[in-house]
Chains A and B, each alone.
Chain A
Amino acid sequence: MNEETKTSEQKIPEDLKETIKETVIARLDVLPADKKISIGSYGDFTKSELIEHVKEEDEVGQKVVDLELTFLKALKEGTLLKEILTPEEE
């Protein structure tokens, strides 16, 4: 987990934490069943396995939450579009 996420996580109230968890699970639920997601040395997971980890709130689950929050933040703040529309100079 990166420091930024850790800091923001400490301030998240319980009810909001539940909402985040539900949102992440809903987003994972749309993943195709025939795909596996490899997260380095943590292993390879199907969507239902990832959902279980999020429910358990373990290390893998926290990684999934971090990634989803990073993505949603990029959407909200326009970073995603900026990233796509602004190619790096070569």
Chain B
Amino acid sequence: MRGSLLITRPEHEPAMRYLSRWSEKIIKEAKEKGVNVIDLYRNKANRKRVIGILEKRNPKLVVFNGHGSEFFVAGHNNEIILNNNDRKAVNSKIIFARSCKSAKVLGATAIKRGAIAYLGYKEDFWLVYNILQISRPLEDKTTALFLEPSNYVPIALLKGHPTGEADNKSKNLFRKNIEKLITEGPSSDDYYAIRYLLWDMMHQVCLGNQAATF
């Protein structure tokens, strides 16, 4: 069996539920690759549990879903689960944080403190969803425009691609979705979403070692 993946999936509000449900695709890919998955779902996505697992079980790949800021990533009910002072928890990890702004300061600090790579967003992560499909997040085609590319960061890592390449492959999927909407033109239901997709793509970064693999 390959290394372990720790993934947090808070679900305390609609946007979090979308991230959580779409993360099932990451978990499925990991299991198919024989990766041990530590799935911290809903209230299990709390600081005590996250830090304990990061420090003691040392999963090499970490995926955070949740709100964030320059200095922290949050879990269920917005509890801060990783902050700028955590050292041991980030050591020797490849981290993907699907949260706002955390790559700006926390990501850079994590690299200084021994993380192998930190992939995430330097600004707010914008996401559009259809109110009528809130109970079926995986069927929401608007959300797919955002979360398929974003999901591809950890999926590419699980497939064995290096960190920098995983970031580029994900951005290329954002690009493909923008191109599709431009080609379809203003009659497309999601034409307006181009601006949000471009924003997320532009602010997605890979810090640290660009050649590291899981």
Contacts and interface: CB of A to CB of B under 8 A. Distances in A.
A35 interface: yes
Q: Quick one: which of B69, B161, B169, B199 has the most chain A CB within 10 A?
A: B199
Contacts of A36: 14, 128-131
Chain B interface size range: 35 or more
Chain A interface size range: 20 to 34
A2 B128 contact: no
A19 interface: no
Main secondary structure on chain B at its contact with chain A?
helix
B175 A83 contact: yes
Contacts, number: 90
A68 B195 contact: yes
* Top 5 A-B pairs, shortest CB-CB distance: A40-B100, A88-B168, A38-B15, A71-B195, A41-B67
Given A37-B127, A71-B195, 7 more contacts: A36-B14, A36-B131, A44-B129, A63-B124, A83-B178, A88-B171, A90-B172
Interface of A: 2, 30-32, 34-42, 44, 46, 63, 67-68, 70-71, 74, 80, 83-84, 87-90
